[in-house]
Structures are given as structure tokens and as C-alpha cells.
Amino acid sequence: MSLGPHLLLALLEGTVQAFVLALTALGLSLVFGVMRVVNVAHGTFFMLGAVVAWFCANLVGDHPTLGFLLALALSPIVVGSIAALCDVLVLRPLKHDPEATIVATIGLLYILEQGTLMTFGPDARPVEPPIQFRLLFPWFGYAGYKLVVVGASALLLLLVWVALKKMRIGLVMRATQFDSETAQNFGVPVERVYTGVFALGAMLAAIAGVLVVPVQQAHYLMGQDPLLLSFIVVIIGGLGSLRGTLAAAFVIGLSDGVISVFFSPTLAKILATLAVALVLVFRPQGLFGARQA
């Protein structure tokens, strides 16, 4: 293929990655923005979503569409419940202290990964796509399911934006974010809001894992790359800035797709890490983050 077809393929792959990354990083950004907690276990929730999808696919046997729909319904509930339990039993007793919760979420990462290894095993498990068709370009065919991932991710991002900007739940979260003590004085149950936000962030990561597992394979270590890229996105976009998170996710996702196709995935990760270093040196608050007083 010439340059044009390669570039088209790179942009298609980058777009898919950008939308999945935006969904995953949005959950991480919400948790930090409202709770000021750096959730190192966030990638593990992504992995758990994929593992639940594999479980659902095997549960229904030869009906991949039914299994996928079951996973979309069940995975956020299961993973969100695990995250809520982690907040109540681990983070809340630490009073959501920023430094202590970093160590605690590292511990949660290893506990959840090793627990998955013990029950799920070390092998990567494939999941059949719920929809199988190919888009035929003059130069190559492209899996149509990947475009379904883009559409589903875009719809979910829109729903989250509407909830945060137009509904009462978003108002409560913003009030808690800006001044938790004042919000509590006005009757906002801050601890319950924290638990809900932590669960919501995990649910978004889990759905991203469900969407991507037919493209990849379910594996107990598959959350490491999404965790790294999510941190890169959140740091570049600005900690706690949802607009910055979405913008950075599309920049990193598209550039990663293009560089991976033309060069190598390793080089894409190296350049993204260098971009983080430059942002930390020249604009520590991120491209869209507010400068701290």
C-alpha cells in the first residue's frame, strides 16, 4: 500500500483508540477531580470489565450478541460494586488522604490482579465480536465492529456530559469538588458522593474494557497500558479538567494510532511519555487545568 492507504488505516485505528481512551481516562479524571484521589488501580477496573465480558460470552455459548449485551449490563454493576466496596473499606478509613490513597490503590491493583489470576488463569481469552462485518476499501478491509466501538463510546461520553452538566447529580459532584465542607453543611452526603464517583469512574473503565475485548483478548494484565495512557491523558489535559481529558485523549489516541502503524507502538508510548514530561516542565497544571494559587 502507498502512503494514503496507510494513513487512512492509521487514522481509523487512532480514532478507535481515542474514543476508548477518552472513556477510560474520563473515569480517572472524575475520581481525581471530585475526590482528589489518584487511582492507580483504575486500569484494573478496565481489566475486570473485559474479564466479566469473557465470562458472559462463555455463559451464553453460541450467542455472541446476547453475551455482549449481557456483559454491557452486568459488567458496570459488578465492577462498580467492587469499586464502591474498595472505597468504603479502604479509602474512606484513610479519609481520602491524597498520599495515603496512592499507596492504598497500588495495593488494590495487586490484590485485584492476583485475585483475577487465581480465578481466571494466566492465559489470554478471546471474545467473539457481537457484530461481524467488514468495510471494504479499495486497499483493505476493516472490521466494522471497531466503528461500533466508536459509536458506543461517543454515545456514552455524550450521556456522561449531559449528566454532569444538566442533571442534579452533576451539580452535587461539582459542589463537592469545589468545597466539600460547605457542601456537607448544605446537606450533601459527601462520603456517599465520593463512593458514587469512585464507582462511576470504575464503571466507565469497565465499559471500555467490554467494548475493546473483542478486538483484544481478556487477560489479567491488560489494564497496564490503559492505566499508563489514561494518566498521560489526564496529566496533559489537566488534572480534574474534563474538557482537557477529552481533548488530550483524542490527541494521544490519534497520534498513537498513526505512530504505531508507521513506526512502532513502543515509539508511540515513548513520545507520549516525553509529551508528559514537557507539560510537567512548562505547564504543570496541564493544557486545560487551572493554575493553583
3-state secondary structure string across 33-93:
HHHCCCCCCHHHHHHHHHHHHHHHHHHHCCCHHHHHHHHHHHHHHHHHHHHHHHHHHHHCC
Check whether 71 has a pLDDT greater than 80: yes
Distance, in Å, from the CA atom of 161 to the CA atom of 206, rounded to the nearest integer, reads 18
What local confidence, expressed as pLDDT, does residue 89 receive?
Answer: 94
- Which of 239, 235, 226 is CA-nearest to residue 269? 226
Report pTM.
0.90
Residues 182-232: tens digit of each pLDDT: 888 778 888 899 999 999 999 999 999 999 999 888 999 999 888 988 888
**Percentages of the chain per state (helix, strand, coil), in multiples of 5:** 75, 5, 25
Residues 91-149: tens digit of each pLDDT: 999 988 888 999 999 999 999 999 999 998 888 888 888 888 887 777 777 778 889 99
What local confidence, expressed as pLDDT, does residue 44 receive?
Answer: 95
Identify which has the larger pLDDT, 257 or 104: 104
Identify which has the larger pLDDT, 241 or 31: 31
Q: Name every residue whose Cβ is closer than 8 Å to that of residue 128 and which is 6 or more positions away in sequence.
A: 57, 64, 67, 214
Distance, in Å, from the CA atom of 209 to the CA atom of 142, rounded to the nearest integer, reads 21
Which one-letter amino acid corresponds to residue 139?
W
3-282 topology per CATH = ABC transporter involved in vitamin B12 uptake, BtuC (1.10.3470)
What's the start-to-end Cα distance of the chain, in Å? 53
Q: Which residue has the cell 508507521?
A: 262
